[in-house]
Amino acid sequence: MENKLMLMIPGPTPVPENVLLALAKHPIGHRSGEFIQIQADVTANLKWLYQTTNELLLLTASGTGTMEAGIINFFSPGDRVLVIHNGKFGERWALVSKAFGLDVVEVTAPWGQPINPADVQAALTADSAKAIKGVIITHSETSTGVINDLETINKHVKAHGALIIVDAVTSMGATNVPIDEWGLDVVCSGSQKGFMVPPGMGFVAVSAKAWEAYKTAKIPKFYLDLGKYRKDGAPFTPPVNLIFALQASLEMMKKEGLENIFARHHRHRDACRAAVKAMGLELYAPDGHGSPAITAVSTPAAEEIRKVMKKKYDIVLAGGQDHLSGQVFRIGHLGFVCDRDILSALAALEGTLAELGTGKSNGAGVAAAAQILSSK
């Protein structure tokens, strides 16, 4: 049947009907008073979601664009930064930092494992000269389904005095990231994840401490110069209709409430993980460190499973990246996803396992998920 495709990937994520309808509105001038008011409303609601009173800037960019902006606006060539990574996206921030001439020090963990906060503490403690100007970390590592202990790591960064730049692309809107309470300096995310909006926008929250660093930063920049956005709001033509859509999605999110949003994502993570175990498959992220946005499953049948899921059930799962290609499939459960979607996807997965003759397909997976969903 046409038009029944179900996205269960970590981005782009499903989009609600009223958000799609907002996209269909006639555009208005981005310098008009009406649009300026809409942008003010959207910014205020973004600050609510980000739990911050800091400057909140809207960019026409992907999550990678917001992270590049977060890196280049607060440092000068030759500055030393500590990049913490345990997956593809964390590694990307090291590459971006090097591309702009920063002196990169790295703290790593194997893909599929969380960063050990003690390793970060040791690296910062060893920096007695305070040469490290910033620490860059991915909170929820999209490539592996691992969530890092940002709160503890941030405490070590604060004790050192460096800026912290956070990739919250798949954690913002899926789990608690209290920016002001934790004192995070630069936090980046993208519209196509927990915000329930198509790709095209990125959001950057910037602390007062980071703005002080901005004053002396010398990396060349123009389009991603955050000072321009701070001054003018929309220094370049913004995606007007995406902002209409974002206004609608944020209204939905406020109606649901932060605690309920976070509880839903954690419930879906727990249901997926319980089901995967009951199906006899191997979770890639260890217990206690599973992302509330993505569940990664390790199996040599990953690509066969993805093919059958799409062809027979019109459900799209994400594949593995880089050396995990063909070894992992990833179930996205962030944004506009409900309990029914989780059960549907898991039932289809059991049907796929039965067809391929791998794993366990006796209904135990759906039963395990249903128990989690009915008890929380």
Any idea which architecture 17-255 has in CATH?
3-Layer(aba) Sandwich (3.40)
Cα distances (angstroms) measured from residue 156 to each of 67, 87, 137: 21, 21, 13
Closest Cα partner for 328 from 355, 300, 353? 300
| Token couple for 202 | 């990125």
How far apart are alpha carbons 120 and 203 in whole angstroms? 26
Token look-up 């593995």 returns 320
Using only C-alpha atoms, what is the Rg of the chain?
21
How far apart are alpha carbons 188 and 204 in whole angstroms? 5
Cα distances (angstroms) measured from residue 171 to each of 10, 38, 79, 163: 11, 25, 28, 20
Closest Cα partner for 197 from 15, 348, 323, 5? 15
Domain ranges of the chain: 17-255, 257-375
- CATH placement of domain 257-375: 3.90.1150.10
Closest Cα partner for 233 from 25, 28, 31, 26? 31
How far apart are alpha carbons 97 and 191 in whole angstroms? 23
Q: In what order do the strands lie in the sheet with 294-298?
A: 6-8, 315-319, 328-332, 294-298, 282-283
130: left (phi over 0), alpha (psi -120 to 50) or beta: left
pLDDT tens per residue across all 376 residues of the chain? 566 799 999 999 999 999 999 999 999 999 999 999 999 999 999 999 999 999 999 999 999 999 999 999 999 999 999 999 999 999 999 999 999 999 999 999 999 999 999 999 999 999 999 999 999 999 999 999 999 999 999 999 999 999 999 999 999 999 999 999 999 999 999 999 999 999 999 999 999 999 999 999 999 999 999 999 999 989 999 999 999 999 999 999 999 999 999 999 999 999 999 999 999 999 999 999 999 999 999 999 999 999 999 999 999 999 999 999 999 999 999 999 999 999 999 999 999 999 999 888 789 999 999 999 998 6
| Token couple for 203 | 């959001």
How much is the pTM?
0.96
| Dihedral sign of CA atoms 370, 344, 305, 199 in order | negative
How far apart are alpha carbons 37 and 316 in whole angstroms? 38
